[in-house]
A and B are shown apart, each in its own frame.
Chain A
Amino acid sequence: MSNDLILRVIAKLLMPYMLVFALYVQFHGDFGPGGGFQAGVIAAAAVVFYAIIFGLPAGRRLVPDRVVEAMLAVGVLLYAGVGLAGLALGGNFLDYFVLDGDPVKGQLRGIFWVEAGVGLTVAGVMLKLFTMFAGRAGADRGADKGGDRG
């Protein structure tokens, strides 16, 4: 698909807007539909879009496999870290009240970082799923000698 000029240009124009929209959805989960899950999926969709138009190796250069696996793990650790921070500051696990002098600000801070962790993990998972499935396409083509039976 990278031979088609229109697709290439549109992809390069749209990608930054998709990523910005992902960030918008991430941070406006408090006031409207949004939050970590949705934002992670939209961000991953932007990179998947790029990989579909320009090819999987280009997508892999954009976000290497190591980075994706690291995103997966770091997101979960960020979430657990916020929980343990609540523990260290004297409250229970995932206690947001103690994260700041003002309990309400503490809640906002806690939710912000927790959702950031969630968004990171979900983006990583969606990207990993895409690269794993797309990366196997060559292997399956070799096995499919008898035509489609499914």
Chain B
Amino acid sequence: MKLLAGHYSYWIAILLMVAGLTMLISRRNLLKKLIGLAILQSSVYLVYIAPGKLIGGTAPIIAPGYTLYSNPLPHVLILTAIVVGVATLALGLALVVRIREAYGSIEEDEILALDRAGE
């Protein structure tokens, strides 16, 4: 029980990671794959931020009377990672829009069939 309750943030991260990967691999629709990618990246944010909060730690601004501060570094790292994730998502969506215009469909099997027919 301690394993479950004490580390619940890690369990959620694992769940998100596997859910995202499954969506990415098994879904045929290009947009759903992108959503799976976004979910996978969210799990990474949890892996970094959850351990950053120290039990009994306060916000990382020096104040008299406090000795234990939470770690601010993971937040900075994840800010960068979130921005990278947004850029990737934007690029992916732009590609999906262009693919839709070029192929008329965003289903992976239809696109592959069109490509094979064109060769």
Contact surface of B with A, Cβ cutoff 8 Å: 29, 31, 61, 79, 82-83, 87, 90, 93-94, 97, 100-101, 104-107, 110
Contact = CB atoms under 8 A, between A and B. Distances in A.
A149 B105 contact: yes
10 contacts: A37-B82, A122-B83, A133-B94, A133-B97, A143-B100, A146-B104, A149-B107, A149-B110, A150-B29, A150-B105
Contact of A140 (B83, B90, B97): B97
Contacts of B101: 139-140, 143
Interface size class of A (residues with CB under 8 A): 10 to 19
A31 B47 CA distance: 24
B79 A150 contact: no
Interface of A: 31, 35, 37, 122, 125, 129, 132-133, 136, 139-140, 143, 146, 149-150
Contacts of B90: 129
B85 to A, nearest CB: 12
A26 to B, nearest CB: 14
Nearest to B105: A149
A37 B104 contact: no
B57 to A, nearest CB: 16
Contacts of B100: 140, 143, 150
